[in-house]
């Protein structure tokens, strides 16, 4: 019998803790603040930004929105970021992705002060995650580690297989697992014998962006399965990278989609903003 990992429950517990710590910081005269920049009118981005603002309100973190027009240039965006880098009211800066195609995303992300880079995408922060000496880590992988700890799922000595090697999820997840003393294998589109490798996983992380990609014949009995995917199935229904109905009975713990890893991402953004305020305050 498997246990469904409830991302909403873990998220609520962590947010409660963040709210208490924010209150303690405010009593010391430090006000955590998150600046969120949105460029253009992408509807999905607008939903994400609104959710981030709401989450800030819930935990007592000040939020500042900077909405810029669709035709904003790279230089204009960097100019705003440079102002926010110097603004003491701003503990963390987040530029909502994707940005319009005329903007050089890499230049923009690299212009954020690493101490305020609460997404942890700056090369300095990526490097710190790599050597295991970081203040904050990318939000989705950090959220998954938080979930495992909440459910008292051991990581040390376990074999973790990560499917996907993105800079946002796959690679940092592998590093966080190593930091927690797991043995890690990273698989990707060029991996030979994928099924043989995933079947060895005590903890399987699916971050591949393909609906229902992971099936029961890829999963070891009793494995823990973490599904990062946010996909649509053939009926347009939200689903993950894991075929939940097919896989769940083989697992000991599994995250559903929706309601699994998703809620943790914004929660870890709040945690990173709190940490940035503590470090910069």
Nearest in space to 45 (alpha carbons), one of 3, 98, 100: 98
Pick the catalytic residue: 21, 96, 212, 250?
A: 96
Strand order of the β-sheet with 183-187 is: 3-4, 251-254, 223-227, 203-206, 159-163, 183-187
Token pair of 63 as six digits: 């939020």
Report how far residue 89's alpha carbon sits from residue 205's, in angstroms, rounded to the nearest whole number: 37
Q: Phi/psi at 101 (nearest 5 deg)?
A: -65, -20
- DSSP collapsed to 3 states, 220-266: CCCEEEEECCCEECCCCCEECCECHHHHHHHEEEECCCCCCCHHHHH
Give residue for tokens 């969120």: 36
Tokens 């079947």: give the residue.
199
Q: Three-state DSSP class for 103?
A: coil
Would you call 52 a catalytic residue per the annotation?
yes
Annotated catalytic, 102?
no
**Residue burial 79-89, b: 16+ Cβ < 10 Å; e: rest:** ebbeebbeeee
Catalytic pick among 113, 119, 241, 243: 119
Distance set, CA 164 to CA 3, 150, 175, 185, 188 (Å): 24, 24, 13, 10, 5
119 is an active site residue? yes
Catalytic residues: 52, 96, 119
């Amino acid at each position: 019998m498997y246990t469904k990992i409830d991302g909403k429950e873990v998220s609520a517990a962590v947010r409660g803790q963040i709210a208490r710590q924010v209150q303690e910081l405010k009593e010391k005269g430090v006000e955590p603040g998150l600046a969120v920049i949105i460029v253009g009118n992408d509807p999905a981005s607008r939903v994400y930004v609104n959710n981030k603002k709401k989450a800030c309100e819930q935990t007592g973190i000040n939020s500042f929105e900077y909405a810029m027009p669709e035709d904003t240039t790279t230089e204009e965006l960097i100019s705003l970021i440079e102002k926010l880098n110097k603004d003491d009211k701003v503990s963390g800066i987040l530029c909502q992705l994707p940005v319009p195609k005329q903007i050089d995303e890499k230049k923009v992300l690299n212009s954020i002060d690493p101490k305020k880079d609460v997404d942890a995408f700056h090369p300095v922060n990526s490097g710190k995650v790599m050597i295991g000496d970081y203040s904050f880590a990318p939000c989705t992988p950090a959220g998954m580690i938080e979930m495992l700890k909440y459910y008292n799922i051991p990581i040390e000595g376990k074999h973790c297989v990560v499917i996907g090697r993105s800079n946002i999820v796959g690679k940092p997840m592998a590093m966080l697992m190593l930091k927690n003393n797991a043995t890690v294998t990273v698989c990707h589109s060029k991996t030979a014998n994928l099924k043989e490798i995933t079947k060895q996983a005590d903890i399987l992380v699916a971050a591949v962006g393909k609906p229902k990609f992971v099936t029961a014949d890829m999963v070891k009995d009793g494995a823990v399965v973490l599904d990062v995917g946010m996909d649509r199935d053939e009926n347009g229904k939200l689903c993950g990278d894991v075929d939940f109905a097919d896989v769940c009975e083989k697992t000991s713990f599994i995250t559903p989609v929706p309601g699994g890893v998703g809620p943790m991402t914004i929660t870890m953004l709040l945690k990173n903003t709190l940490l940035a305020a503590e470090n910069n305050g």
